[in-house]
Structure 1
Amino acid sequence: MSELPEFKAGLVQAIPSLRAFAVSLAHNADRADDLVQETLVKAWDKQSSFEQGTNLKAWLFTILRNEFYSQMRKRGREVQDTEGIMTARLAIHPGQQGRMDLEDFRRALALLPEDQREAVILVGASGFSYEEAAQICGCAVGTVKSRVSRARTRLQELLAISGEGEYGPDAISSQVLGSGVSG
């Protein structure tokens, strides 16, 4: 059995990443919170099966992913929001360009097939290696690499991004930030 304080601290530290992953799977903040809570309860209950020295975060992501798919099987088919009608009702108009860009990204991410979305979030947003993501998804490393590549390509198409120059702050923001730096 793992050390209780260390295990508990690891659970608490993983909550933001777990929630982000859960939101990407569930597309609903309340369901995501329920998924995270269920994941933490299961992890706490099964902490004796966690091998100390292995990746706790990957173990938790696997529990969360398995719980999500178990719930999906129980609920049967879910209503698809392919045109974003329900999402639009929940959207708040952002006050800054970055928030608008983030909302565009979220919409584009939601349009990806589930396997690609999951892979790009695990590798791109959650910081897992391809090997760790493959273990979480229960597939080959090459499969994860392919899913991430296809997801990135599709995101670029959906967001009409043509090159690296379109990432990061715009020209005006760059000038403002650059003017305060002394050489």
Structure 2
Amino acid sequence: MKADIVAAIPSLRAFAVSLSGNPDRADDLVHDTLLKALGSMDSFTEGTNLTAWLFTILRNAYYSDYRKRRRETADPDGALAARLEAPAAQPGHMDLLDFREALQKLPADQREALILIGASGLSYDEAAEICGCAPGTMKSRVNRARNRLTELLGLEESQRLESEAAAKPKARRASESAAPRR
């Protein structure tokens, strides 16, 4: 059987060159085909056409590789890769740790109000009902919590206002701006 495989190598190489158009790529295809064939000899049925089986393996390997290469971009000199950049993950992680530490320094009622309004997305009325207080009290707690966090984190007032605006859901911002002020 192995002698038949070795005898098929020139035909496999010719077929691989005709598929790929590149002798070096063809040699790689034949090599991959032989490795796959030897690794799965138990799936070959004795008495069937060994050469056809090998050609099928080679053809499938070529098309699988072709589909994979089609999604790749040639970048031999590394110019494209050099333009890519990934932001460092550590500053964001450190900011989160600082925020969590500052959040824990808030009084419990302010922390609770801030989490219900800012993180959970509840309205002031819903949060006030949960905490058993008036909506105005809830607004005061949230305002004091935000101001204290600004101090603890060393943020400027303008930075705090920008981050608050970015954190609010758009629908909620629209409903709050349309609601009459008391």
Larger radius of gyration: 2
RCO comparison, higher one (Cα < 8 Å, 6+): 1
Structure 1 length-normalised TM? 0.38
TM-score (norm 2): 0.39
